[in-house]
Amino acid sequence: MDADEVRLPRGPTAGLEGRIPTPRRSPDAAPHVLHVAQPPDGGVPEYVAAVAIDQARRGWRVSVAAPPQGTVRRRLDGDRAEASLVPWSAGRGTRSLRRDVRSLAELVRVAQPDVVHLHSSTAGLAGRLVVRGRIPTIFQPHAWSWQAVPPVAAPVLRAGERRALRWTSALVCVGHDEAETGRRAGLGHRLRVVRSGVDLERYRPVGAAERAATRAELGLPAAAPVVVCVGRCTRQKGQDVLVAAWPAVRAACPTAILVLVGDVQRGGVRIPSGTAGIRQVGPVDDVRPWYAAADVVVVPSRWEGLALTVLEAMACGRPVVASDVDGIREVLDDGLDEDAAPPEAGALVPPADPPALADAVVARLRDDERRRREGEAARGRAERFDVAVTHEELAGLTAEVAGLLRTARSASGTPAPTRGSAGTRRHRWGSSP
């Protein structure tokens, strides 16, 4: 068997071969894109919903296979977008793989999309086992699967991703850090970088009066130091590290309040009895009031693709204390401009290090001027991550994968665009040099 050959697995996916025909349509027709995502809530479905809405507004036909209840449905219904939700509920991991693959195969058979865009590892595995390259396929990991497993299991997952490239038209990374990790794993020749972005109009700084009114509405004391952590409560997001750091923060700032926005109980984050100053808030439809109320936003993740929470907080003009990991460092430390020394927008601390996390939070809670200065720098940094640019680049890549861009430009006599080198940090496909 040569290096690019992959044997079709037996067992959960046996018998699915040949069921998905290649779609046929006019080269001038708008593409039909099927996005597939497994998580009901969190950053990935927020991302998927925003992309689906943007592509529908371009006149494309857009379907999203996702849980029937959750972020995608809420966003699509709220926007009255032309994008349609196709209910698909998948489990995490491989236990439900057979069921997930068969249900997704039927959705793809009925939908007949021109491009299948798979988001995160569960959809990436199930989707590529279903389509097997018969339809142009984009896979977007939103953080690599092997980052979530013990080191002994990581080589197996990396090898699996290399094999799955056979069924992948383009592998899209949300940041340069994530791309570099993929290149080290041998995935570079199908890799494209389209950095995640933030809606700079939706997420914006607020004035003192609006901030005070927001705190009153949320039931927060007007003068108390407030630390906010937003995100799914999982090991990846590291809320347990912040909870472990909190007693040291309270010792230095006795009136400080920590707000955990997310399903703490379901996520298994334990808050020791007697821990003072922690307020638990379940998942919310709109996180902006909590950013507005915060003095400091903390993102203690153990790994990330490119952290949307960091971008949102920065766009709101909040200083951020976050783990020094790929996908956060790129945003907070501005790795694209290696020759510059930009003003601090917050602090990077070692992951899973409660004392370092506590020290960085306390230093900001005690210094009003530092928070103001870092908040202004954060907003300026966030403006480099405009979601409009993200959507434009992703649409261009999707059109090329669908075969539209090359056909249209050839017909007009304009050369099709060349793909930029995946190895550069300053220039990526679809961007200006």
**Confidence class of residue 162 from pLDDT cuts 50, 70 and 90?**
very high
pLDDT tens figures, 80-116? 778 999 999 887 666 788 999 999 999 999 999 999 9
H helix or E strand, kind and range, residue 71: helix 71-79
Binned at pLDDT 50, 70 and 90, residue 420 comes out as very low
Distance CA 64, CA 392 (A): 19
Q: What is the 3-state secondary structure (H, E, C) of 249-292?
A: HHHHCCCCEEEEECCHHHHCCCCCCCCCCEEEECCCCCCHHHHH
What are the sequence ranges of the domains in the chain? 32-197+387-412, 208-382
**pLDDT (tens digit per residue) in 106-158:** 999 999 999 999 999 999 999 999 999 999 999 999 999 998 888 899 999 99
Q: What is the rounded distance in angstroms from the CA atom of residue 428 to the CA atom of residue 414?
A: 21
Q: Measure the CA–CA gap between 399 and 114, rounded to whole angstroms.
A: 10
Same fold, 32-197+387-412 and 208-382: yes
**Band of pLDDT at residue 189, cut at 50, 70 and 90:** confident
Contact 335, 411 (CB under 8 A): no
**60-66-69 Cα angle (round to 5):** 120
Q: How far apart are CA 306 and CA 331, in angstroms?
A: 8
Contact yes or no for 1/89 (Cβ under 8 A): no
Q: Which sign, positive or negative, has the C-alpha torsion 339, 187, 408, 30?
A: negative
Q: Dihedral of the CA atoms 66, 71, 73, 76 (nearest 10)?
A: -110
- pLDDT tens per residue, range 213-235: 999 999 999 999 999 999 888 88
Averaged pLDDT of the chain = 85
Of 119, 180, 117, 115, the closest CA to residue 145 belongs to 119
Could you tell me how far CA 253 lies from the centroid of its own chain? Answer: 33
How confident is the model at residue 334, as a pLDDT? Answer: 60
* Cβ atoms 155, 144 nearer than 8 A: no
Q: Which amino acid is at 235?
A: R
Write out pLDDT tens, residues 32-73.
999 999 988 888 999 999 999 999 999 999 999 999 988 899
pLDDT, one tens digit per residue, over 249-301 is 999 999 999 999 988 766 678 888 888 999 999 888 899 999 999 999 999 99
Q: Which residues pair with 86 in a beta bridge?
A: 65
Question: How many CA atoms lie within 13 Å of 310's alpha carbon, on the beta-carbon side?
Answer: 31
**Closest by alpha carbon to 234, among 270, 268, 283?**
268
Token pair recorded at residue 251: 């010792």
Question: Is residue 308 within 8 Å of residue 314, measured between CB atoms?
Answer: no
Residues 6+ away with beta carbon under 8 Å from 102: 16
Q: Structure pTM?
A: 0.82
* Pick from 300, 292, 266: nearest CA to 280: 266
Give, in degrees to the nearest 5, the angle at Cα 74 between 68 and 77.
100
Pick the CATH number of 32-197+387-412 from 3.40.50.10210, 3.40.50.150, 3.40.50.2000, 3.30.1360.120: 3.40.50.2000
Architecture of domain 208-382: 3-Layer(aba) Sandwich (3.40)
Burial of 421 from C-beta contacts in 10 A (0-12 / 13-18 / 19+): exposed
